[in-house]
Amino acid sequence: DIQMTQSPASLSASLGETVSIECLASEGISNDLAWYQQKSGKSPQLLIYAASRLQDGVPSRFSGSGSGTRYSLKISGMQPEDEADYFCQQSYKYPLTFGSGTKLEIK
Amino acid sequence: EVKLQQSGDELVRPGASVKISCKASGYTFTNYAMYWVKQSPGQGLEWIGTIIPLIDTTSYNQKFKGKATLTADKSSNTAYMELSRLTSEDSAVYYCARRDVGKADYWGQGVMVTVSS
């Protein structure tokens, strides 16, 4: 199985700050990577797919980058509504696997 | 508007089975596969399996083979997941999510399954 190592596990940021979350795959996943946001008590919501494509309706302060085994999610200008858990997920090979998540809080 | 409406929370006895539904609306049900995902309390996400309703084909995470059975009813645009021989390890929230080219673009609201005597 492809292991997705996500870091950091938790993060606190001030409003307006830029934050980054990383995922490292145990093997190359050819940009088959998505990022999800999950607010407390809610379902995950798709933010980014194919490593860098912004899902319709997602604010442009969210961006994704990376290649090979290393991928990152950036939030340019933290907003109150961005406080949530974030997960990466690879779809390159079955079984699909997720990162362990990053809890993002407002400082 | 795409919507995935899941059935209600369940309290079940150890050793029993439970069947969860996921009713799709707002799109052509047979044009997309459906993922099922487990989220254990305070834990991350695990992919259980995928069903392609058009051809009734399933793919399972080896970890959930024998535990989960995925089916779909094209006449009612509903996907189902049955979990069998339940134990406390199966207590979790279970989601269905529409698959669109490697991404889960719409998710159901989740079903909390609690296994307790």
List pLDDT tens digits, range B59-84: 999 999 999 999 999 999 999 999 99
Distance from CA of B109 to the nearest CA of A (A): 6
Asked if the Cβ–Cβ distance from B105 to A94 is below 8 Å, we say no
Category of A30 on φ-ψ map: left (φ > 0), alpha (ψ -120 to 50) or beta: left
Distance from CA of B96 to the nearest CA of A (A): 10
Q: Quick one: pLDDT band at residue B101, thresholds 50, 70, 90?
A: confident
Comparing alpha-carbon positions, the chain A residue that sits nearest to B96 is A43
How many cross-chain Cβ pairs, A to B, lie less than 8 Å apart? Answer: 51
What's the rounded Cα separation, in Å, for the pair A51 and A90? 9
pLDDT given for residue B40 in this prediction: 93
CA dihedral B99, A45, A85, A60 (to 10 degrees): 120
Q: Model confidence over B1-55: pLDDT tens digits?
A: 999 999 999 999 999 999 999 999 999 999 999 999 999 977 789 999 999 999 9
> Could you say which of B35, B44, B110 has the minimum Cβ distance to residue A43?
B110
- Give the closest residue to B69 by CA, choosing from B17, B10, B6: B17
10-residue mean pLDDT series, chain A (107 residues): 97 97 98 97 97 97 98 97 98 96 96
Asked if the Cβ–Cβ distance from B105 to A46 is below 8 Å, we say yes
